[in-house]
Amino acid sequence: MAYVLNNIRFRSVSSKSLERYYNVKSFVLAEMSDTRRQFSETARETTLLIFNSYSSWVLDVETLMLNSPEVSEAHLDTIFEKQDGLIYAYRKLMESHPSVFNTEFMAVWHRVHHSVLEFFRSQARTIVGLSAMMAYPLLIDTLIETLRSTLYELYELDCLMGSDLVSKTITSNSCHTSNLLTYISDSDVRHFVTSGKFPLTERLAVYEEMILKPDIEIPIIVKNYTEANLALKDGKVVGENVSARLLNKLTSRNPRIKIVEIIH
């Protein structure tokens, strides 16, 4: 085995980033253990499989950046190749175990998860040209945002597929049988600013196409994970910020969607 000279300053910085990553992983494990959430086996195992997959990836990327003066396009290509490899591996594993990873659930989730992966790639590209000391923490923080969004969207879909809003009940989650519990985060807002796409709009379009009953009203409860102060008045979201405008635009363009509550 070839010896690689260590870099104590970089290791110190990267260890702090990894600490943040594992703290989020601990949070997710606690959420999975909360029986009030009623995570189905499919949603729970999907979340845990993805986190476990990225646990190896963060260490591979740390080694890749060790002793690099700055992050190059070649580094980024390798980072994305490693990510493509882990995505391929966990999807093959899911396909091989349909009794755990419900095929109908996964078909919808793969469609809605596209925007989360797209956001990660767009943010990851900003580290090119930065020193590894700066780039690694930024990359891990972007991954943390991505994995949080993955948890939220999986729970959203889990609740939806156990509700009365879908043509066929898929999961055992009965936390929100008459409403769609959804969310908006700061990363969603940044994704819109950089790409013009609002992830919630994208997800709802997939749900309408694939699983929601046709011609019914879709009452939604919005969990606000943004820093913006949002409130609901007479069916409209109150607030002079991008989050409020995006939510109001969503309901004005789709009369089926009614925001019934915003929670913080």
Q: What is the pLDDT of residue 204?
A: 97
Flag residues of the chain having pLDDT under 70: 1-6
Beta partners for 233? 236
CA angle 29, 35, 40 (to 5 degrees): 80
Return the pLDDT at 4.
54
Give residue 5's pLDDT: 63
Question: What does the DSSP 8-state code read for residue 213?
Answer: P
Residues 6+ apart with CB under 8 A from 146: 116, 117, 119, 120, 187
**Any idea how long the chain is?**
264
The tokens of 20 are what? 């943040």
Q: Is residue 15 classed as helix, strand or coil in its secondary structure?
A: helix
Strand partners for 263: 223
**Structure token digits, residue 226:** 């943004």
Q: Which residues of 205-220 are buried (b: 16+ CB within 10 A; e: fewer)?
A: ebbeeebbeeeeebbb
Q: Which long-range contacts (CB under 8 A, 24 or more apart) does 2-5 make?
A: 4/63, 4/66, 4/67, 5/67
H or E element in which residue 28 lies: helix 8-33
pLDDT at residue number 250: 96
Q: How is residue 72 written in tokens?
A: 């190059």
The CA distance from 64 to 150, in Å, is 25
Distance CA 52, CA 257 (A): 36
> At residue 257, what are phi and psi to the nearest 5 degrees?
-95, 125
172, two tokens: 């055992």
Domain map (residue ranges) of the chain: 12-30+40-263
Write 171-174 long-range contacts (CB < 8 A, 24+): 171/40, 171/42, 171/43, 171/102, 171/105, 172/38, 172/40, 173/38, 173/39, 173/40, 173/43, 174/38
Which ranges in 66-210 belong to alpha helices (H)?
Answer: 73-96, 103-112, 114-124, 132-160, 186-195, 199-210
- Contact yes or no for 179/212 (Cβ under 8 A): no
Residue 240: the pLDDT is 79
Can you read off the two tokens belonging to residue 108? 């919808």
Contact 181, 223 (CB under 8 A): yes
Residue given tokens 């989360």 in the structure block = 116
